[in-house]
């Protein structure tokens, strides 16, 4: 039988990194085994599910390159099927109507908690043989004896006694199905062979297995993946920084960097850190997923992102930079070829947003300087240095890095100052922030005209602040 995995998010918000990792593991396992990966949208929570969230999930999947073979399928399109299965369970005696009031259930819960018992339904209506009414729900008749055994690919064998479980509601009084019922029906109908999901679902698994058994359905293999924690050991949330997949895109991360980082959360292959998509597919196996929770390390993600930016084809990177440059509010009309710029700059930045800002000075003029740098570099003693550079560059016809560098050396030797006394003020004068690759390559990219304009601007600035 062909392997069939699924990713089944609820469209009640963005796709977070925990969900993205689950999707990635399911996608990798299907690709590794030559099977199918199915996308299912669990949108039965009508109050919280939104079209905007659906689009955010689909956009995130596309950005990450997690292509699906079937879907997206929507649970709200399957209500007739759920109704049919609920009736089947009622007819077989594996489900029953219950009219216990909310007040009774609340009192039962309080009494159980007061006695330090696990809160659960007591089976009050189990044998009453009630008929359907406006106030009734449908409950699944869970077995009273025996164990549910889960042969989990990650956690190994997990055994739960049926006495630990209660008769869960599978249809609410308004006729809508509940999560545990819809998941079972969908996995059954879609012939899902392997369910890879977060271990926060482990409590649901024995209930779902019992429903599947009552339907005489084939059981999938389960793999429950440990949660992702923040670097403080607490469950990952907004307080730890970005958790939305598309926020990482906005912040200038490459999809391959985020994919590489996520695959290493709870899975490893020796000491290898960098994985191409092909290597992930070839090497991944769900049985190798760690059982302990993983801590999200933003510094590690930045390191990976920098690696991928540095090794990216500059032409491809130039295409990916277009939207970031547009959002930053400048154009490439009046500046050097972007691919040539990236060839020099791409190894210096952790994110595309940072890269966008670092190259801004090549395309957009400025009239302010980094205050801290200006105070340190733009002193009265700097004036003759910048004026000498301006004079020499004015007469330089061969505007290439080697000749540009020779002017800096001449200035150092003629004025008998250290290289830093020349290079740093020059860098600040032309960039405004004092950050750039080697100054000769930077000036070659900037061009003669802009270099002279900015040297003159810096000279005037120093004169003004020195008065």
Name the residue ranges covered by the structural domains of the chain: 4-71+228-301, 78-225, 313-362, 371-466
Cβ atoms 100, 294 nearer than 8 A: no
pTM for the model: 0.91
Q: Quick one: pLDDT at residue 48?
A: 87
Q: Quick one: pLDDT at residue 239?
A: 62
Tens-place pLDDT, residues 246-284: 999 999 999 999 999 999 999 999 999 999 999 999 999
Q: Using CA atoms, how far apart are residues 29 and 66, in angstroms rounded to an integer?
A: 12
Closest by Cα among 35, 39, 33, 65 to 284: 33
- Flag whether pLDDT at 44 surpasses 90: no
- Flag whether pLDDT at 126 surpasses 60: yes
Q: Quick one: pLDDT at residue 232?
A: 76
The CATH number of domain 78-225, selected from 3.90.220.20, 3.40.50.620, 1.20.1250.20, 3.30.565.10: 3.40.50.620
- Mean pLDDT for 211-215 is 98
Which of 176-190, 223-237, 298-312 is predicted with the least confidence, judged by mean pLDDT? 223-237
**Long-range contacts of the stretch 377-383 (C-beta < 8 A, 24+):** 377/424, 377/425, 377/428, 377/434, 378/425, 378/428, 378/458, 378/461, 378/462, 378/465, 379/462, 380/462, 380/466, 382/421, 382/425, 382/462, 383/459, 383/462, 383/463, 383/466
- Mean pLDDT for 187-193 is 98
Q: Using CA atoms, how far apart are residues 118 and 358, in angstroms rounded to an integer?
A: 58
Please tell me which residue, 37 or 296, carries the higher pLDDT value.
37
- Mean pLDDT for 51-78 is 96
Indicate the fold that domain 4-71+228-301 takes in CATH: Rossmann fold (3.40.50)
Residue 332 CB neighbours (<10 A): 17
Q: Using CA atoms, how far apart are residues 369 and 39, in angstroms rounded to an integer?
A: 51
- Mean pLDDT for 120-127 is 96
- Flag whether pLDDT at 45 surpasses 90: no
- Flag whether pLDDT at 334 surpasses 60: yes
Tens-place pLDDT, residues 343-392: 999 999 999 999 999 999 999 999 999 999 999 999 999 999 999 999 99
Q: Quick one: pLDDT at residue 409?
A: 95
Of these residues, 213, 234, 238, 463, which one is catalytic? 238
Q: Using CA atoms, how far apart are residues 367 and 265, in angstroms rounded to an integer?
A: 45
Cβ atoms 173, 135 nearer than 8 A: yes
- Flag whether pLDDT at 241 surpasses 70: no
Q: Return the residue matching tokens 């939305």.
A: 244
Confidence of residue 236 (pLDDT cuts 50, 70, 90): confident
Tens-place pLDDT, residues 343-357: 999 999 999 999 999
Residues 6 or more apart whose CB falls under 8 angstroms from that of 82 comprise 171, 177, 181, 182, 185
Catalytic, 191? Answer: no
Tokens of 184: 């079972």
Q: Using CA atoms, how far apart are residues 79 and 444, in angstroms rounded to an integer?
A: 66
Closest by Cα among 391, 383, 340 to 362: 340
State the first-to-last Cα distance of the chain, in angstroms, to the nearest integer. Answer: 84
Question: Do the domains 371-466 and 78-225 match in fold?
Answer: no
- Flag whether pLDDT at 240 surpasses 90: no
Q: Quick one: pLDDT at residue 1?
A: 73
- Flag whether pLDDT at 242 surpasses 60: no
Cβ atoms 254, 65 nearer than 8 A: no
- Mean pLDDT for 146-165 is 96
Q: What is the rounded (10 degree) CA torsion for 227, 229, 234, 240?
A: -130
Cβ atoms 16, 243 nearer than 8 A: yes
Q: Quick one: pLDDT at residue 187?
A: 98
For the chain, helix (H) and strand (E) counts, in that order, are 19, 12
Q: Quick one: pLDDT at residue 237?
A: 67
Q: Using CA atoms, how far apart are residues 334 and 318, in angstroms rounded to an integer?
A: 16
- Flag whether pLDDT at 460 surpasses 90: yes
Residues 6 or more apart whose CB falls under 8 angstroms from that of 267 comprise 25, 284, 288, 289, 290
Strand partners, 4: 36
Q: Using CA atoms, how far apart are residues 179 and 204, in angstroms rounded to an integer?
A: 10
Strand partners, 95: 140
Q: Is 239 exposed, middle or buried (0-12, 13-18, 19+ CB in 10 A)?
A: exposed
Indicate the fold that domain 371-466 takes in CATH: Arc Repressor Mutant, subunit A (1.10.10)
Tokens of 375: 């105070």
Backbone φ and ψ for 330, nearest 5 degrees, come out as -135, 165
């Amino acid at each position: 039988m062909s392997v069939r995995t699924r990713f089944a998010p609820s469209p009640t918000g963005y796709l977070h990194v925990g969900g993205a990792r689950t999707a990635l593991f399911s996608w990798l396992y299907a690709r590794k085994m030559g099977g199918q990966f199915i996308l299912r949208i669990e949108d039965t929570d009508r109050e919280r599910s939104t079209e905007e969230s659906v689009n955010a999930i689909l956009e995130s999947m596309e950005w990450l390159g997690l292509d699906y073979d079937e879907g997206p399928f929507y649970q709200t399109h399957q209500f007739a099927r759920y109704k049919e299965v609920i009736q089947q369970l009622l007819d077989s005696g594996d489900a029953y109507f219950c009219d216990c009031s909310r007040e009774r259930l609340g009192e039962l819960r309080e009494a159980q908690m007061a006695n330090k018992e696990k809160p659960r339904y007591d089976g009050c209506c189990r044998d009453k043989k009630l008929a359907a009414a406006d106030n009734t729900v449908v409950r699944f008749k869970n077995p009273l004896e025996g164990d549910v055994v889960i042969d989990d690919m990650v956690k190994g064998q997990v055994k739960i006694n049926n006495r630990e479980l209660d008769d869960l509601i599978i249809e609410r009084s308004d006729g809508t199905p509940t999560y545990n019922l819809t998941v079972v029906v969908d996995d059954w109908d879609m012939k899902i062979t392997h369910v890879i999901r977060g271990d926060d679902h482990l409590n649901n698994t024995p209930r779902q297995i019992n429903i599947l058994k009552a339907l005489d359905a084939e059981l999938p293999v389960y793999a429950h993946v440990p949660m992702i924690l923040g670097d403080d050991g607490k469950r990952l949330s907004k307080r730890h920084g970005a958790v939305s997949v598309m926020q990482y895109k906005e912040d200038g991360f490459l999809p391959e960097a985020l994919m590489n980082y996520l695959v290493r959360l709870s899975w490893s292959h020796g000491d290898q850190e960098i994985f191409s998509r092909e290597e992930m597919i070839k090497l991944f196996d769900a049985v190798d997923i760690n059982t302990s929770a993983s801590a999200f390390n933003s510094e590690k993600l930045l390191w990976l992102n920098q690696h991928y930016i540095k090794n990216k084809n500059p032409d491809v990177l130039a295409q990916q930079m277009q939207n970031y440059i547009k959002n930053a509010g400048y154009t490439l009309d009046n500046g050097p070829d972007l691919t040539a710029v990236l060839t020099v700059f791409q190894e210096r930045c952790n994110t595309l947003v940072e890269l966008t800002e670092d190259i801004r000075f090549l395309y957009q003029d400025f009239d302010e300087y980094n205050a801290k740098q200006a105070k340190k570099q733009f002193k009265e003693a700097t004036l003759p240095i910048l004026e000498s550079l301006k004079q020499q560059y004015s007469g330089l016809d061969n505007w290439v890095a080697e000749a540009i560098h020779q002017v800096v050396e001449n200035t150092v030797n003629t004025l008998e100052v250290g290289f830093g006394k020349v290079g740093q003020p020059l860098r600040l004068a032309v960039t405004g922030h004092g950050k750039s690759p080697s100054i000769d390559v930077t000036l070659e990219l900037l061009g003669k005209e802009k270099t002279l304009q900015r040297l003159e601007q810096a000279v005037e600035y120093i004169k003004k602040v020195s008065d």
